Amino acid sequence: MTSSADDAEVINAEDVVPIEPPVSRVTEADNKGDVRRLDRQLDRTLYLVVKSEDGWVFPADVIPKDQNLHQSAKRTLDEAAGVNMNTWVVGRVPVAHVVTQPVIKDDGTVEKKGQKTFFLKGRIMAGQADLGGNRFGYSDFKWLTREELEKELTPEYFHSVRNMMADR
């Protein structure tokens, strides 16, 4: 038996290679709802969030005077989620920022200072987050889609960062 290629070349049956169907984009992590694995929602962008005493947030730290924003972002990611992730901080310009207002007690004293948090885009090429020994007190992590983030983050926080995220 023979077959024809698209260009009408005759191909012997023993030379025809069967085409395998594509692998499913739904993984075991999707089926189990495991939000701590990166091999889920393969057609979507996932974002790393960590659980702090204030709830779910993106990893953050104060920028020391001897570091620029780009260096500080890489250091913070390493200190928060461990060095077992091969990451790349994409740019040197923030893609979003959050401004928190100071918390003032009834007596007029400041309980918590206001602050600005700048966000840089990063990519993970390999590895996984490991919060063991992080100095920030983060107790858990998740890899979430934009829609999942909207459910986990406070409305004010999500509103401040929503425009930096991909639609898919």
Handedness of CA 112, 158, 59, 138 (dihedral sign): positive
Cα–Cα distance between 40 and 26 in angstroms, integer?
7
Handedness of CA 89, 96, 144, 114 (dihedral sign): positive
pLDDT at 6 over 70: no
Cα–Cα distance between 161 and 141 in angstroms, integer?
18
Question: 30-91+120-164 belongs to which homologous superfamily?
Answer: Nucleoside Triphosphate Pyrophosphohydrolase (3.90.79.10)
Which residue carries 């009408």 as its tokens?
Answer: 8
What pLDDT score was predicted for residue 70?
94
Kindly report, residue by residue over 39-68, the tens digit of the pLDDT. 999 999 999 999 999 899 999 999 999 999
pTM comes to: 0.81
Q: Where are the domains of the chain?
A: 30-91+120-164
